[in-house]
A and B are shown apart, each in its own frame.
Chain A
Amino acid sequence: MLILHCPNCGVDADETELAPGGEAHLTREGPGSSDEEFEQYLFLRENPRGVHFERWRHAMGCGKWFHAARCTTTMEVFGTYPAQTSEPPQEIRDRISDRRPGWRWRELS
């Protein structure tokens, strides 16, 4: 079972307590955005074999959103971090670089 540490309330939460929220760090488009931008926002996904940044909600716990960095081929969790950010914190990126040299993620790597 996947276990993620909720940075909001400090609980190590089982997967059954959590609701997955899909890819993180999407640019939320709005009025005035082009069809291409909306397609990126609503549909196009990285879906990598490897390092993935994603959103989770501690649905059966504190109810709040957070982010996780995880490997989709080994299920290794590189860390979790608060949702009030547009990119992963440096320490998590460093940890990933340690564990997965040469990793890629959009323009963030």
Chain B
Amino acid sequence: MQRYSVFALARQAFRNHEGWERAWRSPEPKRRYDTIIVGAGGHGLATAYWLGRNFGITNVAVIEKGWLGGGNTGRNTTIIRSNYLQDASAGIYEKSRSLYETMSQDLNYNVMYSPRGVMMLAQTEHEVRGYRRTAHANALQGVETQFVGPERVKELCPIINIEGPRYPVLGALWQPRAGTARHDAVAWGYARACSDMGMDIIQKCEVTGVRSEGGKVTGVSTTKGEIDCDRLGIVVAGNSGVLADMAGFRLPIESVALQALVSEPIKPCMDVVVMANTVHGYMSQSDKGEMVIGGGADGYNNYTQRGSFHHIEETVRALVETFPMISRLKMLRQWGGIVDMTGDRSPIISKTPLEGCYINAGWGTGGFKAIPGSGWAMAELMAKGHSPLADDFSLDRFREGRFIDESVAAGVAH
């Protein structure tokens, strides 16, 4: 693999940048692989990456029906944080956040991780109590967060209106080492590293069936033919139910649309991420200067990657109250992704009723932050049969009543 460095850049500058290699190969599928991962989003690619890096398993194909990173990985608002309430969540999200800190070096690919800090506003007394509780839980879990008062909120983010008429800012849960990263680069960096280890990333190839014999997975049918494997990892976010149906089991998941939008680019005015969960909106500023805005998900099943316009109205209304200066901004683009919501709003990293078939799903509105840690845990699960980070997230928790109830704990998107 051609390494990226300041010297490589200088060398190429003298050659009119004509000597750059393609970042990954685009091979035709082989007849058989040890392991197949369905879905070349961040989680699928990270799973493949750690299978190779941590376990030396490299006879791997990652099969993608569209283009890699074209699902939710390339559609999200890139917030990375680990200030969850439950221990299981803290384990995997904090592992993930810490892996983000070194990802650019690990992958030799600039993912632009920016630990600019994430602030979750408390705008009701309930939220104040809730976030104080989370801050205490985080202290016990070794996750650095702090409950700060309204003056500190204003100091960290001067454009905020802390005296909102309906929902004044009463404080915030502040995680200084949380932040954002470049979403496409995360997918591209992993793809390049996987390809370099000899793995095949097969794009424009849809999995249309899961084959099995005697309750054990034997391969997949695809639009590029039959491909055999011993182990199968399903990592397809919003399409999890479709793949589970092919593999013969049902999931505690519903797929709904979640939208985001960006404004025209403006001068730097905000160097933290602010989430306002009571009024349902969040905002950060991209390096290009656009204000990146997200809000709530639709309430009904949907695969259209569009979403309802009234959510945009609600989100923007809430944010104009919180940040009055954005009221004159023009919005440039809006888009949607199909997110996979589980019953307890926590993910699933698990074996399935089909032997040899594993699933990583249910990250819903908040899985970008989890990509490296989730891949780490999923790879360990697939290589060794269990993973300390993943065990609590198994599928049977819904039958056994072992919920990891972040929906009640946080009640938030992303």
Contact = CB atoms under 8 A, between A and B. Distances in A.
Given A2-B308, A39-B398, A72-B303, A45 B242 contact: no
B251 to A, nearest CB: 7
Contacts, number: 69
B252 interface: yes
21 contacts: A1-B308, A1-B309, A2-B300, A20-B298, A20-B300, A22-B300, A35-B399, A38-B399, A42-B343, A44-B250, A44-B251, A44-B252, A45-B241, A45-B250, A46-B250, A47-B253, A47-B301, A48-B242, A48-B245, A49-B303, A72-B255
Given A35-B399, A45-B250, A54 B301 contact: yes
Interface in B236-257: 239, 241-242, 245, 250-255
Interface of A: 1-2, 15-16, 19-20, 22-23, 35-36, 38-39, 42-49, 52, 54, 72-75
Contacts of B304: 72-75
B interface, size bucket: 20 to 34
B299 interface: yes
B298 to A, nearest CB: 8
A52 B301 contact: yes
B253 A15 contact: no
Nearest to B313: A16
B302 interface: yes
B253 A72 contact: no
Contacts of A45: 241, 250-254
Interface of B: 239, 241-242, 245, 250-255, 298-304, 308-310, 342-343, 398-401
The 7 closest A-B pairs by CB, nearest first: A43-B252, A47-B241, A20-B299, A20-B300, A43-B343, A39-B399, A44-B250
Nearest to A36: B399
Contacts of A19: 299
Contacts of A36: 399
Contacts of B400: 35
A2 B302 CA distance: 11
Contacts of A16: 310
Contacts of B343: 42-43
A38 B400 CA distance: 10
Given A39-B399, A43-B343, A52-B301, A22 B251 contact: no
A22 B303 contact: no
Contacts of B401: 35
A49 B308 contact: no
A73 B306 CA distance: 10
Given A22-B300, A48-B245, A72-B304, 18 more contacts: A1-B309, A16-B310, A20-B300, A39-B252, A39-B399, A42-B398, A44-B251, A45-B251, A45-B252, A45-B253, A45-B254, A46-B241, A46-B250, A48-B242, A49-B242, A52-B301, A73-B303, A74-B304
